Amino acid sequence: MHINPILSKKILAWYDNNKRKLPWRVGKKSPKKLYYRLLSEFMLQQTQVKTVIPYFNNFTKKFKTLKSLSISSEREVLKTWEGLGYYRRARNLLACSKKLVRDHGSRLPYSLEKIKKLPGIGDYTGNALLGLVYNMPTIAVDGNVKRVFSRILNKEENKINFENLIDKNKKNFFKTNRNADFVEALMEFGALVCKPKDPNCLTCCLKKTCKYFKSKNKIRSSKRKMIRKNYNVFCYINKKKQIALTKENKIGFLKNFYLPTIIEDANSFNNRNWKFLKNYQNPISNLKLNINLYYKFAKRIPQSHNWYSLEKNKEFIPSFTKKIFKQISTLFK
């Protein structure tokens, strides 16, 4: 699939005049570059730029360098991450910083293969970091980039082999040697101009070559897939206003975090003697969680569980569990 060679020049010119001032966009030679880029790439997974900015500023105030992050405790890191969600990212970031400092002299490895051995880094983040940190000719294909190419070609995303497309047009994309800028410019252009809804076609610098703009038969934008899940949450509670939590759970995005017992298929659980408290929805990014909340006053709890106060805890409790606390607290009012 051929992309008009003018694209990189036009997008870079647009970027130079319109890029947002973001705290992780530091100078090419800044010693903070790797740390800031790494942190922002982790924070931006599943999360919008405007949500990330205050968390990024707060995090870098507390952990000033990659090294200081690498010697911090998991509890401190999770506390500072608190509210941003998807806490596995914070754990991976901490593990990644330790590995970079210990095994790579606080530098990013030069090959995608080696970068992907770092915790929490796959193809997307690996390619983004190689481009942004080392100016290598790589493109991180996120939703924004897919949408831009798919519209320029007026071809549905699922009919495009993006790896092939980038490979075939590599020479043109990277001829200016501003690879790091091009990676960012593409993502920024997708976020601000070629937006999911109502793209700014009339003022767009690419409209003369864009097939979507010219076509009478425009493709439909692909919608973000929502994943629905049913969780039955069983809370042991006691009269001291405590709730029993365990880290032994199989809930992917909250694996090894403090949760009550959660069962997807309630039929596989003996729910005799449990009282139904409430049904509520808990949306988290592209997850739509339908929660059925049950409780039982108990003196004895399973060995894997420990008691935690509904009001004050030293441990890090994810917001998913805090919402459960809020519901359970209504029983003591």
Catalytic residues: 41
| Residue count, binding to ligand SF4 (CB under 6 A) | 13
Among positions 16-35, residues that touch ligand SF4 (CB under 6 A) are none
Minimum CB separation from ligand SF4 for residue 316, in Å? 42
Q: 3 or 136, CB closer to ligand SF4?
A: 3
If one counts every other C-beta atom within 10 angstroms of the C-beta of residue 159, the result is 10
Rg of the chain on CA atoms, in Å: 24
Minimum CB separation from ligand SF4 for residue 139, in Å? 16
User: Dihedral angle at the C-alpha atoms of 23, 27, 31, 32, nearest 10 degrees?
Assistant: 10
Q: 192 or 277, CB closer to ligand SF4?
A: 192
Q: From CA 217, how far away is CA 206, in angstroms rounded?
A: 18
The verdict on 193 binding ligand SF4 (CB under 6 A) reads yes
Minimum CB separation from ligand SF4 for residue 11, in Å? 9
Minimum CB separation from ligand SF4 for residue 12, in Å? 15
Q: Which of 206, 237, 263, 310 binds ligand SF4 (CB under 6 A)?
A: 206
Minimum CB separation from ligand SF4 for residue 205, in Å? 7
- 206: helix, strand or coil: coil
Chain centre to alpha carbon of residue 159 = 25
The verdict on 213 binding ligand SF4 (CB under 6 A) reads yes
Q: From CA 76, how far away is CA 94, in angstroms rounded?
A: 10
At 6, the amino acid letter reads I
Of the candidates 324, 323, 326, 317, which has an alpha carbon nearest to the alpha carbon of residue 87? 317
Among positions 133-152, residues that touch ligand SF4 (CB under 6 A) are 151-152
Q: 165 or 194, CB closer to ligand SF4?
A: 194
The verdict on 126 binding ligand SF4 (CB under 6 A) reads no
Q: What's 83-128 look like in SS3?
A: CCCCCHHHHHHHHHHHHHHHHHCCCCCCCHHHHCCCCCCCHHHHHH
Q: Which of 192, 201, 266, 331 binds ligand SF4 (CB under 6 A)?
A: 201
Binding site for ligand SF4 (CB under 6 A): 151-152, 193-194, 199-201, 204, 206-207, 210, 212-213
